[in-house]
């Protein structure tokens, strides 16, 4: 209940500034790696998703992170490819020529 003698307009913010079932932006940032790795326990995952519904800043952050992860994955795929036949032929020719 409101305390008329309080200096505040209700309860002190520290009492319940965030509902028990809510994730703050700061907590979200701490959980984001587990979120991407699908490693969050169900309850935490639910709270993270609820947060993403109403926080467009964190949603943007997730989208940027996802774009980064996707780019790195493509880069990794590209770097792990076998060298092309033409490159191998050039290298063999140079080796044969003693270069």
Partner 1 sequence: MIAYKFLRSGRTGPFSGFQWPEPGEWVHANRHMAACRRGIHACRIIDLPWWLADELWEIELDGRVQVDEHKVFAPAGRLRAQIERWTPACAQEYADACAWRAHERAMQALARAGHTSAAGELAACKTLDDVLLLARDLAEATPDTEISLTIARDGAFRALTGAPPTAAYIAAHAAMRLDGPAAYAAERSWQSRWLAEQLGLSTHG
Q: Residue 44 burial by CB count (10 A; 0-12/13-18/19+): exposed, middle or buried?
A: middle
Residue 48 beta carbon to partner 1: minimum distance, rounded to whole angstroms: 9
Residue 10 beta carbon to partner 1: minimum distance, rounded to whole angstroms: 4
Sites for partner 1 among residues 68-87 (CB under 8 A)? none
Helix H or strand E encompassing 96 = helix 85-96
In the complex with partner 1, which residue's Cβ is closer, 8 or 92?
A: 8
- Between CA 29 and CA 34, with CA 31 as vertex, the angle to 5 degrees is 130
The single residue among 5, 26, 37, 53 that binds partner 1, judged by CB under 8 A, is 53
The single residue among 14, 54, 78, 86 that binds partner 1, judged by CB under 8 A, is 54
Q: Residue 27 in contact with residue 50, Cβ under 8 Å?
A: no
């Amino acid at each position: 209940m409101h305390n008329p003698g309080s200096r505040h307009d209700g309860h002190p913010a520290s009492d319940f500034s965030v509902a028990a079932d809510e994730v703050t932006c700061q907590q979200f940032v701490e959980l984001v790696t587990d979120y991407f790795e699908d490693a969050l326990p169900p309850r935490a995952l639910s709270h993270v998703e609820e947060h993403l519904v109403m926080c467009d800043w964190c949603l943007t952050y997730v989208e940027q992170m996802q774009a980064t992860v996707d780019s790195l994955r493509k880069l990794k795929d590209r770097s792990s490819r076998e060298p092309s036949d033409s490159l191998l032929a050039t290298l063999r020719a140079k080796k044969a020529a003693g270069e």
